[in-house]
Amino acid sequence: MNRKPIIGITMGDAAGVGPEIIVKSLSQPGVYESSQPLVIGDAKILERAANLLNLDVRVKRIDSNLNFEAKYGEIACLDLDLLPVDLPFGQISAESGHAAFEYLRTAIELANDKKIDAICTAPLNKEALHKGGHLYPGHTEILAELTNTKDFSMMLSSPKLKVIHVTTHVGIIDAVNMINPGRVYDVIRLAHDTLSKSGINHPKIAVCGINPHAGENGLFGYGEEEEKIIPAVEQAISEGIKVEGPLPADTLFYRAVRGDFDIVVAMYHDQGHGPIKVLGLEAGVNITVGLPIIRTSVDHGTAFDIAGLGVADERSLMEAIRQAIELAPKQ
Protein backbone atom coordinates (compact mmCIF):
# COMPACT_ATOMS: atom_id res chain seq x y z
CA MET A 1 0.00 0.00 0.00
CA ASN A 2 1.34 3.42 -0.96
CA ARG A 3 2.10 5.78 1.88
CA LYS A 4 0.47 9.17 2.08
CA PRO A 5 2.79 11.87 0.70
CA ILE A 6 4.05 14.61 2.99
CA ILE A 7 3.02 17.98 1.57
CA GLY A 8 5.07 20.88 2.92
CA ILE A 9 2.86 23.98 3.01
CA THR A 10 4.82 27.22 3.36
CA MET A 11 3.04 29.98 5.28
CA GLY A 12 4.00 32.82 2.91
CA ASP A 13 3.80 36.38 4.17
CA ALA A 14 2.24 36.10 7.62
CA ALA A 15 0.78 39.62 7.39
CA GLY A 16 -1.46 38.43 4.56
CA VAL A 17 -4.16 35.80 4.26
CA GLY A 18 -1.78 32.83 4.10
CA PRO A 19 -2.20 31.69 7.71
CA GLU A 20 -6.00 31.99 7.47
CA ILE A 21 -6.39 29.95 4.29
CA ILE A 22 -3.97 27.33 5.61
CA VAL A 23 -5.91 26.88 8.83
CA LYS A 24 -9.21 26.79 6.93
CA SER A 25 -7.86 24.19 4.50
CA LEU A 26 -6.32 21.99 7.18
CA SER A 27 -9.54 22.07 9.21
CA GLN A 28 -11.18 19.90 6.55
CA PRO A 29 -10.91 16.12 6.97
CA GLY A 30 -10.49 15.28 3.28
CA VAL A 31 -6.93 16.60 3.17
CA TYR A 32 -5.83 13.95 5.68
CA GLU A 33 -7.34 11.04 3.76
CA SER A 34 -4.72 11.24 1.02
CA SER A 35 -1.77 13.19 2.48
CA GLN A 36 0.24 14.24 5.50
CA PRO A 37 0.15 18.05 5.48
CA LEU A 38 2.99 19.85 7.22
CA VAL A 39 3.03 23.62 7.63
CA ILE A 40 6.44 25.28 7.51
CA GLY A 41 6.06 28.59 9.29
CA ASP A 42 5.34 30.05 12.74
CA ALA A 43 3.11 28.03 15.03
CA LYS A 44 1.93 31.04 17.05
CA ILE A 45 0.75 32.80 13.86
CA LEU A 46 -1.27 29.71 12.93
CA GLU A 47 -2.74 29.65 16.42
CA ARG A 48 -3.71 33.30 16.04
CA ALA A 49 -5.43 32.47 12.74
CA ALA A 50 -7.31 29.55 14.29
CA ASN A 51 -8.53 31.76 17.14
CA LEU A 52 -9.54 34.48 14.69
CA LEU A 53 -11.60 31.93 12.74
CA ASN A 54 -13.01 30.24 15.86
CA LEU A 55 -11.81 26.87 14.62
CA ASP A 56 -11.34 24.00 17.04
CA VAL A 57 -7.93 22.82 15.90
CA ARG A 58 -4.66 22.30 17.72
CA VAL A 59 -1.31 23.40 16.29
CA LYS A 60 1.33 20.80 17.04
CA ARG A 61 4.95 21.95 16.95
CA ILE A 62 7.39 19.43 15.49
CA ASP A 63 11.15 19.48 14.98
CA SER A 64 13.23 19.10 11.84
CA ASN A 65 13.34 15.29 12.18
CA LEU A 66 9.72 15.35 11.00
CA ASN A 67 8.65 12.56 13.30
CA PHE A 68 4.93 13.16 13.20
CA GLU A 69 1.63 11.63 12.19
CA ALA A 70 -0.77 14.03 10.55
CA LYS A 71 -4.32 13.71 11.78
CA TYR A 72 -7.54 15.63 11.49
CA GLY A 73 -8.02 18.23 14.22
CA GLU A 74 -4.29 18.78 14.62
CA ILE A 75 -2.11 20.96 12.36
CA ALA A 76 1.52 19.84 12.28
CA CYS A 77 3.90 22.79 12.06
CA LEU A 78 7.66 22.88 11.64
CA ASP A 79 7.96 25.98 13.79
CA LEU A 80 10.71 28.35 12.66
CA ASP A 81 9.63 30.89 15.30
CA LEU A 82 10.64 33.99 13.34
CA LEU A 83 7.81 36.44 13.97
CA PRO A 84 6.08 38.17 16.89
CA VAL A 85 2.57 37.00 17.64
CA ASP A 86 1.27 40.58 17.28
CA LEU A 87 2.62 41.02 13.73
CA PRO A 88 0.27 43.64 12.19
CA PHE A 89 -2.14 42.45 9.53
CA GLY A 90 -1.92 43.92 6.05
CA GLN A 91 1.40 45.75 6.42
CA ILE A 92 4.55 45.31 4.39
CA SER A 93 7.55 44.59 6.59
CA ALA A 94 11.10 43.35 6.25
CA GLU A 95 10.59 40.79 9.02
CA SER A 96 7.59 39.12 7.37
CA GLY A 97 9.37 39.19 3.98
CA HIS A 98 12.45 37.53 5.43
CA ALA A 99 10.33 34.96 7.26
CA ALA A 100 8.49 34.08 4.04
CA PHE A 101 11.84 33.47 2.35
CA GLU A 102 13.04 31.26 5.22
CA TYR A 103 9.86 29.17 5.14
CA LEU A 104 10.42 28.52 1.44
CA ARG A 105 14.17 27.93 1.77
CA THR A 106 13.51 25.36 4.50
CA ALA A 107 10.85 23.62 2.41
CA ILE A 108 13.17 23.42 -0.60
CA GLU A 109 15.91 21.95 1.58
CA LEU A 110 13.50 19.32 2.91
CA ALA A 111 12.28 18.50 -0.61
CA ASN A 112 15.83 18.26 -1.96
CA ASP A 113 16.60 15.85 0.89
CA LYS A 114 13.39 13.91 0.10
CA LYS A 115 12.03 14.47 3.58
CA ILE A 116 8.86 15.92 2.07
CA ASP A 117 7.26 14.88 -1.22
CA ALA A 118 5.96 18.21 -2.53
CA ILE A 119 5.79 21.90 -1.70
CA CYS A 120 2.60 23.95 -1.72
CA THR A 121 3.11 27.69 -1.18
CA ALA A 122 0.85 30.33 0.32
CA PRO A 123 1.43 33.80 -1.19
CA LEU A 124 4.32 36.09 -0.36
CA ASN A 125 4.62 39.83 -0.97
CA LYS A 126 7.42 40.81 -3.34
CA GLU A 127 7.98 44.23 -1.78
CA ALA A 128 8.26 42.70 1.68
CA LEU A 129 10.57 40.01 0.29
CA HIS A 130 12.87 42.73 -1.08
CA LYS A 131 12.72 44.70 2.18
CA GLY A 132 13.80 41.52 3.93
CA GLY A 133 16.95 41.43 1.80
CA HIS A 134 15.91 38.81 -0.77
CA LEU A 135 15.94 40.39 -4.22
CA TYR A 136 13.95 37.86 -6.22
CA PRO A 137 10.94 38.52 -8.46
CA GLY A 138 8.96 35.81 -6.69
CA HIS A 139 8.64 32.17 -5.61
CA THR A 140 9.52 30.71 -9.01
CA GLU A 141 12.95 32.29 -9.23
CA ILE A 142 13.85 31.30 -5.65
CA LEU A 143 12.86 27.72 -6.37
CA ALA A 144 14.91 27.65 -9.56
CA GLU A 145 18.05 29.05 -7.92
CA LEU A 146 17.91 26.83 -4.83
CA THR A 147 17.37 23.70 -6.93
CA ASN A 148 20.00 24.67 -9.54
CA THR A 149 17.37 24.59 -12.29
CA LYS A 150 18.06 26.35 -15.59
CA ASP A 151 14.99 25.54 -17.70
CA PHE A 152 11.77 26.21 -15.82
CA SER A 153 8.49 28.00 -16.26
CA MET A 154 5.35 29.04 -14.45
CA MET A 155 2.27 27.04 -15.40
CA LEU A 156 -1.18 28.17 -14.35
CA SER A 157 -3.79 25.44 -14.18
CA SER A 158 -7.55 25.68 -13.87
CA PRO A 159 -10.31 23.20 -14.73
CA LYS A 160 -10.85 24.78 -18.18
CA LEU A 161 -7.47 26.25 -19.10
CA LYS A 162 -3.75 25.67 -18.68
CA VAL A 163 -1.18 28.38 -19.47
CA ILE A 164 2.62 28.25 -19.41
CA HIS A 165 4.78 31.37 -19.60
CA VAL A 166 7.86 32.33 -21.62
CA THR A 167 8.49 35.35 -19.34
CA THR A 168 6.86 36.30 -16.04
CA HIS A 169 7.86 38.94 -13.51
CA VAL A 170 9.45 41.56 -15.72
CA GLY A 171 8.19 44.73 -17.37
CA ILE A 172 6.58 44.42 -20.80
CA ILE A 173 9.49 46.04 -22.67
CA ASP A 174 11.97 43.76 -20.92
CA ALA A 175 9.72 40.77 -21.62
CA VAL A 176 9.71 41.39 -25.36
CA ASN A 177 13.48 41.79 -25.34
CA MET A 178 13.91 38.53 -23.40
CA ILE A 179 11.79 36.44 -25.76
CA ASN A 180 13.95 34.44 -28.19
CA PRO A 181 13.54 31.21 -30.19
CA GLY A 182 15.55 29.14 -27.71
CA ARG A 183 13.42 30.17 -24.75
CA VAL A 184 10.16 29.74 -26.66
CA TYR A 185 11.22 26.26 -27.76
CA ASP A 186 12.21 25.32 -24.20
CA VAL A 187 8.79 26.35 -22.89
CA ILE A 188 6.99 24.44 -25.65
CA ARG A 189 9.06 21.39 -24.71
CA LEU A 190 8.33 21.87 -20.98
CA ALA A 191 4.60 22.08 -21.77
CA HIS A 192 4.74 18.93 -23.88
CA ASP A 193 6.76 16.92 -21.36
CA THR A 194 4.71 18.06 -18.36
CA LEU A 195 1.36 17.16 -19.92
CA SER A 196 2.71 13.92 -21.34
CA LYS A 197 3.86 12.86 -17.88
CA SER A 198 0.42 13.72 -16.51
CA GLY A 199 -1.17 11.21 -18.90
CA ILE A 200 -2.15 13.37 -21.89
CA ASN A 201 -0.86 11.63 -25.01
CA HIS A 202 0.31 14.00 -27.74
CA PRO A 203 -0.89 17.19 -26.00
CA LYS A 204 -2.14 19.96 -28.27
CA ILE A 205 -0.15 23.14 -27.64
CA ALA A 206 -0.97 26.65 -28.87
CA VAL A 207 1.54 29.51 -28.88
CA CYS A 208 0.48 33.14 -28.49
CA GLY A 209 1.84 35.90 -30.65
CA ILE A 210 3.42 38.99 -29.13
CA ASN A 211 1.65 41.68 -31.16
CA PRO A 212 -2.06 42.20 -31.87
CA HIS A 213 -3.29 39.59 -34.37
CA ALA A 214 0.10 37.85 -33.96
CA GLY A 215 1.62 40.62 -36.07
CA GLU A 216 -0.72 39.99 -39.03
CA ASN A 217 2.11 39.26 -41.45
CA GLY A 218 4.15 42.28 -40.42
CA LEU A 219 1.31 44.79 -40.20
CA PHE A 220 1.82 45.19 -36.43
CA GLY A 221 5.17 45.30 -34.66
CA TYR A 222 8.62 44.85 -36.11
CA GLY A 223 8.64 41.20 -37.12
CA GLU A 224 8.86 39.80 -33.59
CA GLU A 225 6.75 36.76 -34.42
CA GLU A 226 8.93 35.82 -37.39
CA GLU A 227 12.15 36.42 -35.48
CA LYS A 228 11.36 35.13 -32.00
CA ILE A 229 8.52 32.58 -32.22
CA ILE A 230 8.21 30.90 -35.62
CA PRO A 231 11.68 29.22 -35.54
CA ALA A 232 10.83 27.66 -32.16
CA VAL A 233 7.46 26.38 -33.35
CA GLU A 234 9.03 24.92 -36.49
CA GLN A 235 11.70 23.14 -34.43
CA ALA A 236 9.07 21.65 -32.10
CA ILE A 237 6.95 20.49 -35.04
CA SER A 238 10.00 18.83 -36.60
CA GLU A 239 10.37 16.80 -33.38
CA GLY A 240 6.79 15.55 -33.52
CA ILE A 241 5.26 17.95 -30.99
CA LYS A 242 1.68 18.98 -31.79
CA VAL A 243 1.97 22.76 -31.65
CA GLU A 244 0.39 25.68 -33.51
CA GLY A 245 1.39 29.32 -33.56
CA PRO A 246 1.97 32.10 -33.24
CA LEU A 247 -1.78 32.69 -32.92
CA PRO A 248 -3.68 35.88 -31.98
CA ALA A 249 -4.10 35.93 -28.20
CA ASP A 250 -7.49 37.67 -28.34
CA THR A 251 -9.17 34.55 -29.79
CA LEU A 252 -6.73 31.85 -28.74
CA PHE A 253 -7.81 31.66 -25.11
CA TYR A 254 -11.45 31.28 -26.14
CA ARG A 255 -10.46 28.38 -28.37
CA ALA A 256 -8.42 26.76 -25.58
CA VAL A 257 -11.31 26.99 -23.10
CA ARG A 258 -13.53 25.48 -25.80
CA GLY A 259 -11.19 22.48 -25.89
CA ASP A 260 -9.18 23.04 -29.07
CA PHE A 261 -5.89 22.98 -27.13
CA ASP A 262 -4.57 21.38 -23.94
CA ILE A 263 -2.29 24.28 -23.02
CA VAL A 264 -1.40 27.78 -24.18
CA VAL A 265 2.14 29.18 -24.28
CA ALA A 266 1.88 32.85 -23.21
CA MET A 267 4.65 35.30 -24.01
CA TYR A 268 4.40 37.48 -20.91
CA HIS A 269 2.82 37.68 -17.47
CA ASP A 270 -0.50 39.43 -18.04
CA GLN A 271 -1.14 37.73 -21.38
CA GLY A 272 -1.41 34.42 -19.51
CA HIS A 273 -2.59 35.47 -16.08
CA GLY A 274 -5.53 37.58 -17.24
CA PRO A 275 -7.56 34.80 -18.88
CA ILE A 276 -6.92 32.38 -16.00
CA LYS A 277 -8.06 34.90 -13.40
CA VAL A 278 -11.16 35.85 -15.36
CA LEU A 279 -12.18 32.20 -15.04
CA GLY A 280 -12.03 32.50 -11.23
CA LEU A 281 -9.30 33.02 -8.65
CA GLU A 282 -10.67 30.19 -6.53
CA ALA A 283 -9.91 27.61 -9.25
CA GLY A 284 -6.44 28.68 -10.38
CA VAL A 285 -3.26 26.93 -9.29
CA ASN A 286 0.34 27.94 -10.01
CA ILE A 287 2.73 25.05 -10.78
CA THR A 288 6.45 25.50 -11.37
CA VAL A 289 7.47 23.07 -14.12
CA GLY A 290 11.00 21.94 -14.88
CA LEU A 291 12.06 21.65 -11.24
CA PRO A 292 13.41 18.41 -9.73
CA ILE A 293 10.78 18.81 -6.98
CA ILE A 294 7.00 19.29 -7.04
CA ARG A 295 5.74 22.80 -6.30
CA THR A 296 2.19 24.12 -6.51
CA SER A 297 0.75 27.38 -5.25
CA VAL A 298 -2.35 29.49 -4.99
CA ASP A 299 -2.88 31.82 -7.92
CA HIS A 300 -3.57 34.93 -5.86
CA GLY A 301 -1.66 37.37 -3.73
CA THR A 302 -1.43 38.16 -0.05
CA ALA A 303 -4.70 40.15 -0.07
CA PHE A 304 -3.49 42.57 2.61
CA ASP A 305 -6.79 44.47 2.35
CA ILE A 306 -8.75 41.58 3.90
CA ALA A 307 -6.05 39.98 6.07
CA GLY A 308 -7.23 39.45 9.63
CA LEU A 309 -10.92 39.68 8.74
CA GLY A 310 -11.46 35.94 8.51
CA VAL A 311 -13.11 36.15 5.08
CA ALA A 312 -10.30 34.86 2.82
CA ASP A 313 -11.32 32.14 0.36
CA GLU A 314 -9.30 28.94 0.81
CA ARG A 315 -10.47 27.16 -2.36
CA SER A 316 -7.38 27.98 -4.45
CA LEU A 317 -5.13 26.61 -1.70
CA MET A 318 -7.29 23.51 -1.43
CA GLU A 319 -6.90 22.94 -5.16
CA ALA A 320 -3.14 23.58 -4.94
CA ILE A 321 -2.85 21.00 -2.15
CA ARG A 322 -4.93 18.55 -4.21
CA GLN A 323 -2.66 18.95 -7.23
CA ALA A 324 0.46 18.64 -5.06
CA ILE A 325 -0.91 15.35 -3.71
CA GLU A 326 -1.68 14.16 -7.23
CA LEU A 327 1.79 15.01 -8.55
CA ALA A 328 3.80 13.83 -5.54
CA PRO A 329 5.59 10.47 -5.58
CA LYS A 330 3.73 7.92 -3.45
CA GLN A 331 6.21 5.04 -3.12
pLDDT in tens, 132-184: 999 998 898 899 999 999 888 889 888 889 999 999 888 999 999 999 999 99
Q: What is the pLDDT of residues 178-235, one digit of tens each?
A: 999 999 999 999 999 888 887 788 999 999 999 999 878 777 888 899 999 999 999 9
1 — pLDDT class (breaks 50, 70, 90): very low
End-to-end CA separation in angstroms for the chain: 9
Q: Confidence class of residue 330 from pLDDT cuts 50, 70 and 90?
A: low
The residue type found at 163 is V
Would strands 263-266 and 118-121 be described as parallel, antiparallel, or unpaired?
unpaired
Distance from C-alpha of 80 to C-alpha of 77, rounded to nearest angstrom: 9
Query: 247 near 206, Cβ under 8 Å?
Result: yes
In the chain, which segments carry CATH 3.40.718.10?
A: 1-150+291-331, 159-279
pTM over 0.85: no
Over residues 103-121, the mean pLDDT reads 95
How far apart CA 276 and CA 239 sit, in angstroms, is: 29
H helix or E strand, kind and range, residue 185: helix 181-197
For 263-305, the pLDDT digits (tens) are 999 999 999 989 988 887 666 788 888 899 989 999 789 999 9
For the stretch 39-74, pLDDT in tens is 999 999 999 999 999 999 999 999 888 989 899 999
Q: Please enumerate in sequence order all residues whose Cβ is within 8 A of that of 210, keeping only pairs 6 or more positions apart, or say none.
A: 176, 179, 221, 224, 225, 228, 229, 246, 267, 268
Are 57 and 50 in contact, with CB atoms under 8 Å apart? Answer: yes
The contacts of residue 22 (CB under 8 Å, 6+ apart) are 9, 11, 39, 41, 46, 49, 75, 122, 314, 317
pLDDT of residue 65: 86
Q: What whole-number distance in Å separates Cα of residue 129 and Cα of residue 13?
A: 9
Yes or no: say if 90 and 305 are a contact pair by the CB < 8 Å rule: yes
**What is the identity of the amino acid at 45?**
I
Region of 303 (left: φ > 0; alpha: ψ -120 to 50; beta: rest) is left
CA distance linking residue 206 with residue 51, whole number of Å: 47
State how far the Cα of 300 lies from the Cα of 122, in Å rounded to an integer. 9
DSSP 98-123: HHHHHHHHHHHHHHHTTSSSEEEE--
**DSSP character for 9?**
E
Separation in Å, CA 237 to CA 110, 199, 201, 227, 262: 39, 20, 15, 17, 16
CA neighbours closer than 13 Å in the CB half-sphere of residue 279:
23
Contacts of 259 (CB under 8 A, 6+ apart): none
Q: Please provide the CATH number assigned to the domain covering 159-279.
A: 3.40.718.10
**Homologous superfamily, domain 1-150+291-331:** Isopropylmalate Dehydrogenase (3.40.718.10)
Distance CA 127, CA 149 (A): 24
From the number of C-beta atoms within 10 Å of its C-beta (0-12, 13-18, 19+), residue 292 rates as exposed
**The residue type at 247:** L
Name the DSSP class of 3. Answer: P
